[in-house]
Structure formats: C-alpha cells, structure tokens
Chains A and B, each alone.
Chain A
C-alpha cells in the first residue's frame, strides 16, 4: 500500500509541475500586459517590468516562481489590488468556494441517495419513473442554467433568496448557489444508487436476510445500503470534477466572492499572478481530490491497487 501511495503522490506532484509550466507558458504568450495605463511611457514600463522581474528570460522567471511557491509565496497582484500578496487575496475566496462547494456536494449526495433508494424500492413504478426523469434532467442540464432559473423564479419572482450575494445575509446568499451546485451530484448519485441497489436487492444474501425475518428498515439500512455505498466511491471523481467546473460559472451568476469570480475578474484585467494562482488552485484541488479517491478506493478494493502496481 505504501508503495502505491508514494507512486501516486509522486505522479501527482509531477502533474502539478507540468500544469504550472503550461500555465506559465500560456500566460507569457498572452497578448496585453498588466500595465495598461496610457500615462506610462516606455521607460516607465521598462522600470515596472524590471521591478517585478518581468524582463528576465522565461525559464528563470519560472524557476523563481516555483521556488517562491514552495514557500507559500504566490507573488503580488499587479492590477486588482496593487502590491497585495496573491496568497492573501486568494485565501478568503478559496474558503468561500470550498464552503459553497462542500454544501452543494453534501446536499446533492444526501438527496441523490434518498432518491436512488426510493427508486430502487419502487422499481418499475411511477416513483421510479419520476426519479429517473429528475436524474436525467440533473445530469444533462448544466448547473448554470439551474442557477439562472433559480435567480429568476425563486429569487426574483418569489423573493425567497437573494438574487445577488450580500454580505448582510451570508447564510441566505449561500442557498441559491448551493441548490444549483447540488443538482449534478444529486442526479449522478441517484442514478448510480438506484442501479446498485436493484442489484443488491436481487442478490442471494438479501434473500437469506429476508428469509431470516429481518424487518424491512433494518434490511435496507444495515444490509443493502452498506453494500451499495462502496461502489459509489468510483463515481465521486467525475462528480467532483463537475462540481468544480460548475462552481466557476455558478459563482459568477450569483456574484459569490469565490475563486471562480476572482479568476474571471483577474482574467479580464490581465492580472498574471492572480490568474496563475487561481488556475493552479483549481488544478491542485482537482488533483488532490483525485488522489484521495484513488487511495480510498485502493484501500477498499485491493484489486485496483494490485492492477495499478503492475
């Protein structure tokens, strides 16, 4: 197991470095410069470039950036918040994004699990059909469409949730983004739970448990659900990816001050260091989550580990 984990961690670090390199390369190819003030003349621009070290060759800048990053220094913002450390700018939004994402994920998983169980227990009835319709909608309709519909119908027409994020009522502001983000995990989890549960309920050991006279509730909670849950870890990866990508747009729709909103603002104002930091945080979150899922799955199902060690 230790060997497997070491290998996966090493691959992850290498991937992160490669991503950082690609990001750096792309940004240096980007048109425009962070100093767009028309009052600046060529000499002043050159001075600014020298001050921030932007006049040095590409590889030297890259090496310096990586060395600083290891110490937790992500450089300074050039435009949005002049001379403020990026690591400070990013910390707050990151917590907000994680909070909203985690709430969406939790809500979606619980609802999805309940829907899936309801569908499996009422296999081939109208309940099953209803659950299938809900889940296919959740899988195919993008989360920002849900966000827009929520803003209009629940926020504007009914006035139940704030249309835009307000710092006065943070808790209520989280409801909209949370529901919009919960749709995709809910749909995926319910689809998977349903098919796994139907399989488990049809198995011999459930027949035996039934024959022993175990009560229905006990049968589902203790015997069927536990065995259903294990394979669900396999779909956690794709679900989290959906959640991450969805959060970028959903945050923008609701105006939530998270990493997604910060990144879009930074992109629009050519703030190199902030863009790199945000993109890197997204990639790092993604890779770390994938790593955890892989390791968790390796612990639960040794066959995966053995196959990958070969």
Chain B
C-alpha cells in the first residue's frame, strides 16, 4: 500500500518576487492517498475470486447446497416417513402437483394412470413409492442424509488421521518415516474394496462398519500429500528460524507449517468425499451396508435394481442423486484446487 502525504513546499525568495504565497493552493493538501489501481487483496479473498470465476466449481457448490437443503427439510415437508409401509399404495409411479399437467411425473405407467386405477387421485408421491409402498422422495432424502454424513466423516478422518500421519512422517523423517511408510505401503497394497468387503463380513453391517473401513484406508491419499508438502517446507528458512528460537516440534508442525499447506489439504479432503460416498453405495449394493428399513442411496439402488425393468423410476431417483452428488463434489474440489494454487499444472 503506497501512501503519499502532500506537504506545502517551502518557497524560495526568487519565486516569491513573482508569485505571492497565496497564488497557488495544493488540491490534495493534507489528504492521504492510496494506490487504488493496485489494491492488495488478502489470501482468502484471492482464493474466493479465483473460485467464483470457475463456473463448474460454483455450479458444484450450488448443487451440493441444494441437495443438502433437500436432505434436511425434505422428510419434514413430504408428509411421509421413510419407513412407513403402505402396502395398498405400493409401486406407484412419480406424480408431482403442477408438473403433472406437462405430461411428466403424472402418475402414468405404460399408458395408464396408476393413481386412478388405485383410487388414489388425491395422493401425490413425488418420486413414487417402492414395492412396500414407502414414499421414495422421503427415502431418497434420508439416503442423501446418510451419504452427506459419510462425506463429513470422511473429511474428519482425512484431517485427523491422514493429515497427522503425513505431517509426522514427513517432519521427523529418518527411521520414523521409514517405518511409517512401510506400514502405509502394506495398507495401500490391500485393494480398498476387498478390505471393506471383508470388514463388512466380520462386523455387523451398519454405519460403524463403514466408518471403520474409512478409518483404515480412507486417509492414505491425504497422508501422502501432507508428507510431500511437509518435505518441501521443513527445510525452509522460516522453519529454521523458528527452531533456532526454541520452538517445540509440535509448534513447528502445527503452527508454522500447517497453515501454509492447509489449502492443498482441504482440497485433498474434498477429493476423498466422492470415494467415501461410493464406498457406502458399493457396500450397500453388495448387501453389506446400512440394514433395512433405513435407506441409504446404495440400499435404494440395490432395491431398485431388483425391479429395474418393471419399475425403472424406483432406481432412477437414487442414481441421479448419487451421480449428481459425486459430480458436484468433484467439481467443487477441482475449483478449490485451482483457487488455492492457480499456478499449478493440471
């Protein structure tokens, strides 16, 4: 920030002969001037500008917000519960008030109105019902809640385990690094899905198993990035200065180094979200995930798969939400990466 303060110059005697001291007045006398053309921006503001320029990333963020909103308020406004079995109204196609006049979501299946046939013209199941008569809109919202919860867990695990593991391994180096990296190699040698499948077998299926599976393998990518970033920074002069001043290892790692690499780490955490969501969907699809009657996107897909050719609408809503969710998290993470580090090559 450049600041110029104009002062009245002292006039010499010769000039005074021609001009009187009051002939001229400085326009900006005593005023503080800032260089507006090259105004400096803070780091976070810079990140925000880069991020909002990226259309895909903004679209991704907006879709995540909308889906989250639906997951929160959906079950409240739908008027149904996710596990309320209603056998008379089973396998109803989607019907939404208003949109039904356009010829889609109008309760028709194979040319006939199922709602009329079942004498239920006053009912609206927005995304239809499943083979037990449960409202699919409510179930998809519930399933999204579970997927979003798993996304949150994945980020926390990434930060708590992956980041610390990478930071410690990279910072201390030597024997510590050797042992930790060999351990990581073995863990990484096991294909994630094989491990997850076996865990699902040993433990009772449910949320705990999925979380445990993520705890074992979900953080390996993150720890690699954290380690690589620490290796770059730990020889830096400011770290040396800090050490010379007597800072403890803990302080150097978490106060000096961490803030400088946090952007990359957050990006990495965002990239691990889609694979965590996929892990859940996969486990439930194979039949080792969240047990009935609770609904996750994976359970919904595996249920809908059974009647794919008869009632395709039962699977489509869950597939679309799952695909949208994974797509938007990827776009969002892409945008974050570009925003935090615009010079990096992709």
Contact = CB atoms under 8 A, between A and B. Distances in A.
Contacts of A137: 327
A26 B194 CA distance: 12
A230 interface: no
A18 B189 contact: yes
A252 B283 CA distance: 13
A253 interface: yes
Interface in B178-224: 185-186, 189-194, 197-199, 201-202
B198 A27 contact: yes
A27 B197 CA distance: 11
Interface residues of B, number: 38
A29 B330 contact: no
A145 interface: yes
A265 B346 CA distance: 41
A151 B308 contact: yes
A19 B189 contact: yes
Given A15-B185, A26-B199, A29-B202, A140 B326 contact: yes
A286 interface: yes
B282 interface: yes
A199 interface: yes
B167 interface: no
Contacts of B198: 23, 26-27, 275, 279
Contacts of B329: 140
A267 B274 CA distance: 26
B186 A282 contact: no
A136 B56 contact: yes
A100 B185 CA distance: 28
B146 interface: no
A199 B345 contact: yes
A160 interface: no
B287 interface: yes
A141 B189 contact: no
A201 interface: no
Contact of B286 (A31, A136, A249): A249
A295 interface: no
A30 B200 CA distance: 10
B285 A140 contact: no
Contacts of B201: 26, 30, 267, 275
Contacts of A14: 186
A245 interface: yes
Given A27-B198, A163-B309, A139 B330 contact: yes
Nearest to B312: A152
B194 A145 contact: no
A253 B185 contact: no
A215 to B, nearest CB: 29
Contact of A136 (B185, B309, B319, B327): B327
A233 interface: no
A142 B327 CA distance: 10
A30 B322 CA distance: 31
Contacts of B327: 136-137, 140-141
Given A264-B286, A282-B191, A287-B189, A145 B322 contact: yes
Nearest to B287: A268
B194 A283 contact: yes
Interface in B281-308: 281-282, 285-287, 301, 305, 308
Interface in B118-162: none
Interface string A276-310: 00010011001100100000000000000000000
Residue of B281, B308, B322 ringed by the most chain A CB atoms within 10 A: B308
A144 B282 contact: yes
B278 interface: yes
Given A263-B197, A264-B286, A145 B323 contact: yes
Nearest to A31: B202
B331 interface: yes
Interface string A241-276: 100110011001100000000011001100000010
A177 B202 CA distance: 30
A252 B287 CA distance: 12
A156 interface: yes
B330 A286 contact: no
A306 B56 CA distance: 40
A163 B309 CA distance: 10
Contacts of B257: none
A171 B136 CA distance: 37
A139 to B, nearest CB: 6
Given A26-B199, A249-B286, A156 B308 contact: yes
11 contacts: A15-B189, A16-B189, A26-B198, A136-B331, A140-B327, A148-B319, A152-B309, A249-B286, A267-B201, A279-B197, A279-B198
Interface of A: 11-12, 14-16, 18-19, 22-23, 26-27, 29-31, 136-137, 139-142, 144-145, 148-149, 151-152, 156, 163, 195, 199, 241, 244-245, 248-249, 252-253, 263-264, 267-268, 275, 279, 282-283, 286-287, 290
Given A12-B189, A244-B191, A245-B282, 10 more contacts: A137-B327, A140-B329, A142-B278, A142-B281, A142-B323, A156-B308, A199-B345, A252-B285, A275-B198, A279-B197
